[in-house]
Amino acid sequence: MKKILILNTGGTISMSEDQRTGKVAPTDSNPIGAGGNIFSYIGDLHVEDLYHLASPQITQNEMLGIKNRINKAVQEGYDGVVVTHGTDTLEETAYYLELTLDVNIPIVITGAMRSSNEIGADGLANLRSSLVVATDDESIDKGVLVVMNDEVHTATYVTKTHTTNVATFQTPTFGPIGLVSKNNVIYFQKLIKEEHYNVSTTEKRVYLLKAYAGMDGELIDAVVELGVDGLVIEALGAGNLPPKTVPAIRNCIEKNIPVVFVSRAFNGVTQDVYDYEGGGKRFQQDGVIFTTGLSGQKARIKLMILLEAGIPFDRLRELF
């Protein structure tokens, strides 16, 4: 039997609903810790409560802690790790781990949209699917995986698409890389690019702004005044902004503050297409970095990690 570590960090998957008020909150005992025993036939399971945090309470400090614990688990001889996590920031933790872990054992992140005692609770089902993935030989060297609703997604591109639906986690443009079927996982895609960076600190400040019609440079200037290390903007379309933002963006570049553009559109990639004031072509010429399919929150995680790893300003573009 494969030896699997289940790391609980909190979230809805570890909470219960008050039957009288309908409020969902943590309880004294983690229902996943108790329910996980029913899956002992899948592997040699070891459960550890690393944190007891709702996902909005997770910061890069906890992400670094999860990364360090997984590295220790590899040294301890575990064959795979399953992390239970709140869904609101699950994709960010998953991508952080994807970029900072350089291990070949399966690393699976999962959660739940319904607490343990709600009708249609999905926590145990997602945990079971995650354990099936973590113990499957085909999951080795697949990078960090997010398993929800019997689908397997890469940490790089998966995102939460619905506030309450159990099928909330989707991969826009590309789709899932695999499906969990009964007692095995079927893969039909693979993430073709993997990258890993060695980080041990969480000191860099990277902000995320979303573009809108009529936006000017005031928010960008304010972020610079705060002492920002990097800036990610969810730009319009394929990578455009209102013209009044141009001086503020140029000021960032002149101060060696990297500016990364993603699109606020749900699907597609950014491209330096339009050659007009505020168009992507001119921003690219000014030194703005364009991404390929990353969301704003993922691009922020990546830029933060690159800066923590000491990557020089002139190399950031090629790494995005």
Which residues does the annotation place in the binding site? 55, 87-88
Q: How far apart are CA 116 and CA 64, in angstroms?
A: 27
Annotated catalytic residue 59: no
User: Per the residue annotation, which of 9, 84, 87, 159 is the catalytic one?
Assistant: 87
Q: How far apart are CA 88 and CA 104, in angstroms?
A: 27
Q: List, as one string, the DSSP characters of 249-280.
A: HHHHHHTT--EEEEESSSSS-------STT-H
Q: List, as one string, the DSSP characters of 30-52.
A: -HHHHHGGGGTTTSEEEEEE---
User: Per the residue annotation, which of 9, 12, 89, 135 is the catalytic one?
Assistant: 12
* Residue 267 C-alpha from the chain's centroid: 17
Kind and range of the H or E element at 195?
none
Annotated catalytic residue 110: no
Closest residue by Cα to residue 211 from 279, 293, 284:
279
The pair of structure tokens assigned to 112 is 């739940």
Point out the annotated binding site for substrate: 55, 87-88
Helix (H) and strand (E) counts for the chain? 9, 16
Contacts of residue 146, defined as CB under 8 A and 6 or more positions apart, other chains included, come to 90, 91, 94, 108, 109, 110, 152, 153, 154, 155, 158, 169
Question: How many CA atoms lie less than 13 Å away from 150 in the CB half-sphere?
Answer: 7
Asked if 233 and 278 count as a contact pair (C-beta separation under 8 A), the reply is: no
Closest residue by Cα to residue 238 from 259, 213, 263:
263
- Region of 68 please: left (phi>0), alpha (psi -120 to 50) or beta: alpha
Active site residues: 12, 87
